Amino acid sequence: MNSHISNLFYSPVKSVSFSNSNNLIVQKNLGIKNDRIFSFTRNIDKKKSIDLEKNPKKRNLHFFLTLKNSPFLNKYDFEFNDDQLSLILENNLINSISTKNRDNFDIISQELMSREKLIQNPIYLIYNDKFPFFDTMPDNSISLINLSSVEDFENKISLKIEYERFRGNIYMKGAPPWKEFEWIGKKININNCHFLVTGKIPRCSATNLKPGEVKDDINLPLTLRKVYGHINMGVYLIPLNDGIINIDNEVKLII
């Protein structure tokens, strides 16, 4: 069977819920359109937050809410449609804002602060669709997960591991387990979109959380290390041209 895309996701807000899609718009040297274009800051004031919003080279993961430092995020969903960002809890709309009215951004921040009792530690919602908030900041990237590698991991530990834990943009079927690591430094083609495979993705404690849960049920990085001697799952991609990728598109190594 040829390697092909089985699932596609993007995350409007860094480290929060992923939205599935039948296709994604790829932007050269940037990533997936609308992926991680919002983020919440922490431990800094609003002025510094706005500075980080505008200047990706000044960003440090310590100043952002992530699943690793704020597991409560895992119970919330965000949807982004027609310039509207909506906060959702248990399938119920809590509030929404428009990117066209920046004065309303504090509505979402205040909502989370109130619900999670973060009054003593203010958070701020920031937005930048030209320089999104990737874990690889200031560099931009797309993540690809080989589901055969996830399945190999499951088989070796005799435990079901939800692939959503790895928070990938592109999920691939049909390739042998760990084949993606052989592609590092090479280029792949998906529906005439070319990508450079730049490196392995080391996994952190955020993967300890089941989708939608706020408590750990496994030390996943440690388990990976015990089984394979490393903590990696998936690879980073940099898009080399604009285009669109779709579910069932073939993933081909460029020779």
Question: Residue 76: enclosing H or E segment and its boundaries?
Answer: strand 76-81
Query: What pLDDT shows up at residue 219?
Result: 97
Which residue reads 């939608």 in tokens? Answer: 212
Q: Model pTM?
A: 0.92
Long-range contacts of 137-141 (CB under 8 A, 24+ apart): 137/56, 137/59, 137/61, 138/56, 138/57, 138/59, 140/29, 140/30, 140/31, 140/238, 141/31, 141/198, 141/236, 141/237, 141/238
Query: What pLDDT shows up at residue 36?
Result: 94
Query: What pLDDT shows up at residue 40?
Result: 95
Interval 46-89: pLDDT, tens: 999 999 999 988 998 889 999 888 999 999 999 999 899 999 99
Are the C-beta atoms of 217 and 211 separated by less than 8 Å?
no
Query: What pLDDT shows up at residue 177?
Result: 98
pLDDT tens for each residue of the chain, 255 residues long: 689 999 999 999 997 888 999 999 999 988 999 999 999 999 999 999 999 999 988 998 889 999 888 999 999 999 999 899 999 999 999 999 999 998 899 999 999 999 998 767 889 999 999 999 987 655 678 999 999 999 999 999 999 999 999 999 999 999 999 999 999 999 999 999 999 999 999 999 999 999 888 889 999 999 999 999 999 999 999 999 999 999 999 999 997
| Domains in the chain: boundaries | 4-31+138-253, 34-127
Token couple for 240: 């080399």
Query: What pLDDT shows up at residue 119?
Result: 62
Architecture of domain 4-31+138-253: Beta Barrel (2.40)
Token couple for 193: 């979109």
